[in-house]
Structure 1
């Protein structure tokens, strides 16, 4: 948008704090190469457009805003003469993409001193060569420091996740090792019992019946129902009585195994009807080993399946074999992050998932989204630690005004209203020294807003804090490396 050209007064320009130390010759050059423009209420320039001018307000009211999703969020409103905006990094040249990093509009007729970006760059280099070097160092040093500390934040999260993953993997791995060792013992006893049976006075038909019963028993184990503790106890007592009535005095030892396998008195009656009375104790012992081996193999299968799921979750979380930018299932990303953080969340925090499974997959940077989920979940867990480590974490997804909403709600003490406006600031943290860099929410904001053109906001009250992430459903142009977090 262009304004109305106005006369340029070197005296007036020199009264602005930015130019008050310039010589009359320098002020004259500014008026000669720049211009004064009067803008009527409305937009002056738009975020993301090529930065062609440097603006210094002479009088009026200016509003600066940043695009967050589909909305423009006001960040500054001022009537202070001398405030400046626009192509402020023009002196760096082509080393940085020269675009407006915010939008500017005026709410009343407003005069600006306008300097073309090329002229601003030349003036800076000629008049302030040392300052330009310092500013360049500050600019690139700040970006480098931000990238380094951001990487440090990722490494801290990775270290925490690795410790949790190691713990989570250790439990099923140890269970599989124990079950394998016990299985070897049971198979050895089964071989010994088989040798005794083979040497005993059993007919071919009796052995055939026993093998058939063994097969049916294995099938029953695979379909064992889940019993309540009271139901299991009652069934154990009934089986123990039945076994003892038939001279099997060690029935109390094997009854719990039979109950766990889903076997009952009807099954024992079928066994008793299929074999002679004198071989019933040996048959029951033989079948007990069958049941134990089946249960142990189930335990090994469950443990190794758990390990496989954890490895898959780690793979999904890291996105190591995936394209950086792709269409992703947000629910898969949330599940993998929750599984990776399950050790840190602990058993005293209840996790509730309220997913809208009808929502579509969306174009995104999955690895970066997982980092956001990690930061928000970690903050929620830390907040609830103030309640003795107990509480409820609710993860909800929904469609909100044609955007994908992901909400993390915790029952912690809430965020102090005095600091609520600062929680997304770099290096701001309420965690103890050494436990946080103060960059988790800043990085999360950059990932959601800058890389995904979404928004992130917070609502907080004691017992109800909600971080809400809104993501676009359709693809937008991925950010360039300079704009990446």
Structure 2
């Protein structure tokens, strides 16, 4: 239960749990370390503003996220402060020290920052607290300590500016790293396409030459027509050739090489590999031998081998171009280029785009498992910013696992929310670190290495901007970050 704001000096107490709302005598105030250096007039002002309030064991004095209306000073009893960390209450401190304070501790900043309670205060025993209304207390603090206020203002502005700069730097570093991986991935299919094109040009020239040798007048129309039919059959074989094990391929190549040697075709071992890749066998070569004269067999076989290799090279080029197109599409999906900031999106497309951007950074021994619930509906979101969340979580997971492990990306529902869970098989988050992982600038990396975990940014994107939540479960061998997003616009 939340505490009501402290009543003004001429008002009766507002809390049903605190029937007595007494002022604290200035002499008693001076016994509190927080006020021991104040002047008599200042103590009298604090006495006028404050009220003594009482709470029973187990009662909440205030709750995290509620408007920060009072500054509280402990007079008697014991209290605990807790933070809500991804669905679980984590106790950050407890105290029975007279004079300990909490609540609206940043009231002095006024409208420059959101005035909400940063934690929950719970009474562990019967407690008595001095409650000071936040606006009035902030006003007298600014009046009494102008130099301190200037210093605090500078600190506040500097921290906010630093957070902005570091956040931008984190995004740039992440983007640069992903871009380097993307260019590497683009280079591979591009180089393959260039290589295949160069070889294709040579094979086309060779195919024209061999066709001229075969059809130099020694073949009648029927034979030439049959040879062209065999070429079409070779093309179909090349595009539909079955997958074989390495042992099966070796056996097939040996068999074709023996056939070619037996029929006087030179360098049969060289041609056999291409013909096997195109689905040829002894029966197919028998058809070729029956369509031409024995003197033309070598030219005919080489012509068909060029045909097969040409088709295979065209397939390589097609695969390379498709891969390039897929990577460019993933990059556009990731960056949300030329798209509205807020739209209804399929989270699976965002996850796949982010994973595609990470292809160059994922070690060969890391297995990526996509466990998607494809029945999930599209959700309203800011996709470019969600991609940044996926980037931070996946990057941290890869960093935790090192060169080997399993990265699992799972989607589903939790209650009335869409759930995206990213799990790694790393060593887990140490218990002493876990309460701090969502703090700004916090990192477990050595100084000078990396820019942080990016979880503060992720938390603000998911919770503040999308109205969702991030939860974490960690144990050695299984650390999961679960992002919850509303299924409908709030």
Structure 1 and Structure 2 fold alike (TM over 0.5): yes
The residue number in structure 2 matching 1:60 is: 77
Aligned in 2, Cα 1:379/1:145: closer, same or farther, shift over 3 Å? same
Match of 2:10 in 1: none
Which residue in 2 is equivalent to 1:217?
Answer: 234
Corresponding residue to 1:241 among 255, 258, 265: 258
Structure-to-structure mapping, 1:35-54, within 5 angstroms: 35-40=51-56, 41-54=58-71
Tell me the alpha carbon deviations over residues 109-167 of structure 1, each in whole angstroms, 9 at most, x when there is no partner: 43332233321232122111111121122112111111211221222222221221122
The whole-number CA distance in structure 1 between the counterparts of 2:390 and 2:69 is: 38
* Unaligned ranges ≥5, structure 1: 478-485
Q: Match for residue 391 of structure 1?
A: 405
Change (3 A) 1:100 1:431: closer
Structure 2 unaligned segments of length 5 or more: list them: 5-14
460, 471, 486: which one aligns with 1:456 = 471
Moved more, 172-181 or 313-322: 313-322
* Alignment root-mean-square deviation, CA: 2.9
What's the counterpart of residue 294 of structure 1? 311
Q: CA deviation at 1:460?
A: 2.7
Out of 90-99 and 156-165, give the one that drifted further: 90-99
SS in 2 for 1:435: coil
Judge conservation of contact 2:334–2:350 (CA < 8 Å) in 1.
Answer: yes
**Which moved further from structure 2: 79-88 or 169-178?**
79-88
TM-score calculated relative to the size of structure 2: 0.85
1:203 and 2:220 equivalent?
Answer: yes
Q: Which residue of 2 aligns with 1:481?
A: none
Q: What displacement does 1:94 show?
A: 2.8
Q: Hey, what's the Cα distance between the residues in 2 that align with 1:352 and 1:310?
A: 19
User: How far off its partner does 1:409 sit?
Assistant: 4.0
How much does 1:61 deviate? Answer: 3.6
- Alpha-carbon spacing, 1:266–1:290, altered in 2? closer, same or farther (3 Å): same
- Equivalences, count: 472
d(CA) in 2 for partners of 1:34, 1:52: 13
Q: Map Cα deviations across residues 303-357 of structure 1 (whole Å, 9 max, x no partner).
A: 1111112222222222334444444433333332332222222213333334444
Paired residues of 1:69 and 1:471 also in contact (CA < 8 A): no
SS of the equivalent of 2:53 reads strand
**Partner of 2:23 in structure 1?**
8
Q: Which residue of 1 aligns with 2:348?
A: 331
Contact in 1 for aligned 2:428/2:474 (Cα 8 Å): no
Tell whether the 8 Å contact from 1:448 to 1:456 is kept in structure 2 after alignment. no
> Which moved further from structure 2: 196-205 or 19-28?
196-205
The aligned runs of 1:43-192 (5 Å cut-off) are 43-68=60-85, 72-192=89-209
Q: Does 1:27 align with 2:43?
A: yes
Distance 2:358 2:181 in 1: 7
2:11 matched residue in structure 1: none
TM-score w.r.t. length of structure 1:
0.86
1:228 positional shift: 0.7
1:399 to partner: Cα distance: 4.2
Shift of the alpha carbon at 1:414? 4.7
Counterpart CA distance in 1 for 2:88 and 2:441 is 26
Whole-angstrom distance in 1 between the partners of 2:319 and 2:262: 36
Which 4+ runs in 1 deviate beyond 6 A?
A: none
